[in-house]
């Protein structure tokens, strides 16, 4: 059934994994098939967002700060037309993703010819492995499409106002300082059609905003998020449970054991050197655009 569109502000509890077990399992499987490692808390983010998107087949969806992240591929698998926006260069998008999904660049520079993508024997092996896994389980193409667009979320001049049915954003907006966040949210709201939803996950702070240096991301206080997303005082949050929820996250075996191996290779990420030690936790925000903006 289509979820009722309501504003929400919620620190993501590990209980989400049990509540949305089929979705969580489906996401893990897709990540494995596409050989896309997922962030240490992303299963929570993705299940929370997908529980709120409703039917996406045939819908125009903007993935804000998409990188090569899983949600755009999941949505395209379910028939969405995804505009995938990121300031990073994804023009060398892996071959197997182009093969399984209908992917184009919004401009020529957004997607390089496919023969530019295999740059090393390791990349060739990864591509062949992913192609084999895709072949094993699915047909060659998903029903939706993904259009890559390189640009800043604070200036989406190429996207018309009121043109998008849904905006999703997975752990991306926190890479904008608190002072800049409201302008980014306003721009995302501008392109959203009235009645459409902006569903985003960011990182939560118990009290004041603070910067997590290893992941280069901000953790935002409840007050900062309420102001940036223009949430009314009537939207009830669970920030009062911040410390308990963080303790439960730290103790969660499933996320700890599922930690992707790339974390072990560097100290500059959300889980430096792969040592399970969550310092912050994800928070979900849902904002429904009213007809007055
Ligand atoms: C941690 S990654 C998450 C990527 C993806 N959402 C996923 O699920 O894997 C954050 C991404 O957000 C993008 N990003 C953050 N702020 C942005 C902005 N203002 N404009 C464009 N991209 C932005 C970054 O370039 C980066 O690719």
In tens, the pLDDT along 145-189 reads 999 999 999 999 999 999 999 999 999 999 999 999 999 999 999
Q: Span 54-79, mean pLDDT?
A: 97
How far, in Å, from the CA of 214 to the mean position of ligand 1?
Answer: 15
- SS3 call for 206: coil
Per-residue model confidence as pLDDT tens digits over 71-105: 999 999 999 999 999 999 999 998 889 888 999 99
Phi/psi at 206 (nearest 5 deg)? -65, -45
pLDDT above 90 for 5:
no
Distance 136 CA to ligand 1 centre (A): 31
- Residue 139: pLDDT over 80: no
User: How, if at all, do strands 8-11 and 281-288 pair?
Assistant: antiparallel
* CA-proximal residue: ligand 1, atom 8 (nearest): 69
pLDDT (0 to 100) of residue 133: 67
Mean pLDDT of 217-237: 97
216: left (phi over 0), alpha (psi -120 to 50) or beta: left
Which is it for strands 281-288 and 81-86: parallel, antiparallel or unpaired? Answer: unpaired
**Which of 36, 87, 157, 168 maximizes ligand 1 atoms within 8 Å of its Cβ, making it the mutation to test the pocket?**
87
Q: What is the mean pLDDT of residues 196-205?
A: 98
The residues lining ligand 1, judged by C-beta closer than 6 Å to any ligand atom, are: 65-67, 69, 71, 86-88, 152-154, 170-172, 175-176, 184
HSE, side-chain direction, 13 A CA sphere, residue 269: 19
Residue 257 CA to ligand 1 center (angstroms) comes to 25
% of residues, the chain, pLDDT over 70: 94
Q: What confidence tier does 140 reach under pLDDT thresholds 50, 70, 90?
A: very low
**149 C-alpha to center of ligand 1: Å?**
12
Residue 274 token pair: 């792969």
Residue 57 φ/ψ, nearest 5 degrees: -55, 125
Instruction: Give the model's confidence band at 137: pLDDT under 50 very low, under 70 low, under 90 confident, else very high.
Output: low
Q: Quick one: which H or E segment has residue 281?
A: strand 281-288
Main-chain phi, psi angles of 180, to 5 degrees: -95, -20
Ligand 1 atom index nearest CA of 154? 19
Dump pLDDT digits (tens) for 232-268: 999 999 999 999 999 999 999 999 999 999 999 999 9
Q: What is the DSSP letter of 293?
A: -
Task: Share the mean pLDDT of the chain.
Answer: 92
Please choose, from the candidates 288, 290, 283, the residue with its C-alpha nearest in 3D space to the C-alpha of residue 9: 283
Say if CB 175 and CB 218 are below 8 A apart: yes
Question: Three-state DSSP class for 282?
Answer: strand
How do residues 97-129 score in pLDDT, each as one tens digit? 988 899 999 999 999 977 677 778 877 787 777
In this prediction, residue 136 carries a pLDDT of 55
Round to whole Å and give the CA distance between 74 and 12: 20
Tell me the two tokens of residue 233: 């005082």
- Predicted TM-score (pTM) of this structure: 0.93
């Amino acid at each position: 059934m289509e979820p009722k569109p309501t504003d929400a502000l919620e620190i993501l509890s590990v209980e989400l994994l049990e509540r949305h077990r089929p979705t969580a399992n489906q996401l893990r499987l897709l990540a494995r098939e596409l050989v896309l490692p997922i962030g240490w808390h992303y299963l929570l983010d993705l299940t929370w967002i997908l529980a709120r998107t409703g039917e996406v087949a045939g819908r125009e969806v903007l993935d804000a700060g998409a990188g090569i992240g899983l949600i755009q591929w999941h949505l395209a698998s379910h028939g969405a037309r995804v505009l995938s926006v990121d300031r990073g260069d994804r023009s060398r998008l892996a071959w197997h993703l182009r093969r399984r999904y209908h992917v184009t660049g919004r401009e020529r520079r957004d997607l390089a010819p496919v023969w530019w993508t295999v740059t090393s024997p390791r990349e060739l092996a990864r591509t062949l492995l992913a192609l084999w896994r895709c072949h094993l389980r699915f047909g060659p193409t998903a029903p939706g499409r993904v259009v890559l667009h390189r640009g800043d979320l604070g200036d989406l001049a190429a996207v018309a106002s009121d043109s998008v049915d849904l905006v999703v954003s997975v752990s991306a907006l926190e890479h904008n300082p608190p002072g800049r966040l409201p302008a980014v949210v306003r721009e995302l709201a501008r392109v959203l059609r009235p009645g459409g939803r902006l569903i985003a996950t960011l990182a939560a702070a118990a009290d004041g905003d603070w910067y997590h240096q290893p992941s280069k991301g901000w953790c935002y206080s409840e007050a900062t998020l309420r102001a940036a997303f223009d949430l009314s005082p009537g939207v009830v949050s669970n920030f009062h449970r911040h410390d308990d929820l963080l303790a439960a996250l730290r103790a969660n075996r499933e996320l700890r054991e599922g930690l992707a191996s790339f974390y072990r290779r560097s100290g500059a990420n959300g889980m430096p050197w792969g040592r399970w030690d969550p310092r912050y936790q994800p928070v979900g925000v849902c904002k429904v655009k009213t007809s007055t903006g």
